[in-house]
Amino acid sequence: MKKLIFNLIVFILISSHDTISQNVVRKCAVPENRPTKVLLQHKKLQEKIDEYFLKTDFLEKKEEKVIKIPIVFHIIHNNKTGNIGGAENGNISDEQIFSQIRVLNEDYRKLENTPAFNSNPVGADMKIEFFLAKIDPDGKPTTGINRIYHSKKEFDVFEDNFQLSDISYWDSSKYLNIWVTTLADNYLGYAEFPGGNFDGLELEDIDERIDGVIIDHHALGRQTGTAIEGVYTYGRTLTHEIGHWLGLIHTWGDEFCGTDYCEDTPPAERGNLGVKCNAIFSNCNNVKTQNMIENYMDYTADSCMNIFTSDQKNRVRAILDISKRRKKLIANAEFDLPKVENLQVKVLENPTINESIGVQILVKDLETIEYAIIDQKGIILTKITLKDTPSRVILIPKNILAPGINHLRVKSSTEEVTKKLILR
106, 192, 241, 269: which is the annotated catalytic residue? 241
CATH number at residue 39: 3.40.390.10
The answer to whether residues 159 and 14 belong to one domain is yes
CATH number at residue 361: 2.60.40.1930
The answer to whether residues 168 and 30 belong to one domain is yes
Residue 338 lies in a domain: no
Neighbours of 207 (CB within 10 A): 13
The answer to whether residues 245 and 375 belong to one domain is no
Last residue of a domain, one of 309, 332, 355: 332
Q: What pLDDT sits at residue 4? A: 33
Active site residue 334: no
Is residue 80 within 8 Å of 233, Cβ to Cβ?
A: no
Neighbouring residues of 412: CB distance < 8 A, sequence distance ≥ 6:
343, 363, 367, 368, 369
Residue 400 lies in a domain: yes
Return the DSSP state at 267: P
The answer to whether residues 357 and 237 belong to one domain is no
Distance (Å, whole) CA 235 – CA 226: 12
The answer to whether residues 321 and 369 belong to one domain is no
pTM to 2 decimals? 0.77
Q: What pLDDT sits at residue 391? A: 80
Last residue of a domain, one of 332, 357, 375: 332
Among the listed residues 242, 237, 248, the one whose alpha carbon sits nearest the alpha carbon of residue 299: 237
Residue 339 lies in a domain: no
Q: What's the structural domain count of the chain?
A: 2
The answer to whether residues 34 and 173 belong to one domain is yes
The answer to whether residues 301 and 348 belong to one domain is no
The answer to whether residues 121 and 28 belong to one domain is yes
Is residue 252 within 8 Å of 39, Cβ to Cβ?
A: no
The answer to whether residues 156 and 190 belong to one domain is yes
Distance (Å, whole) CA 67 – CA 64: 9
Residue 209 lies in a domain: yes
Distance (Å, whole) CA 293 – CA 300: 6
Q: What pLDDT sits at residue 274? A: 76
Residue 144 lies in a domain: yes
| pLDDT mean by block of 10 residues, the chain; 424 residues | 33 40 44 47 71 63 76 95 91 95 96 95 96 88 93 91 96 94 89 66 70 94 93 94 91 89 93 86 93 94 95 90 82 68 90 85 86 94 86 87 94 94 89
Q: What pLDDT sits at residue 41? A: 63
Residue 328 lies in a domain: yes
Amino acid occupying residue 409? R
The answer to whether residues 262 and 401 belong to one domain is no
Residue 275 lies in a domain: yes
The answer to whether residues 220 and 122 belong to one domain is yes
The answer to whether residues 373 and 304 belong to one domain is no
Domain that holds residue 213: 2-332
Last residue of a domain, one of 332, 361, 378: 332
> Would strands 356-362 and 367-374 be described as parallel, antiparallel, or unpaired?
unpaired
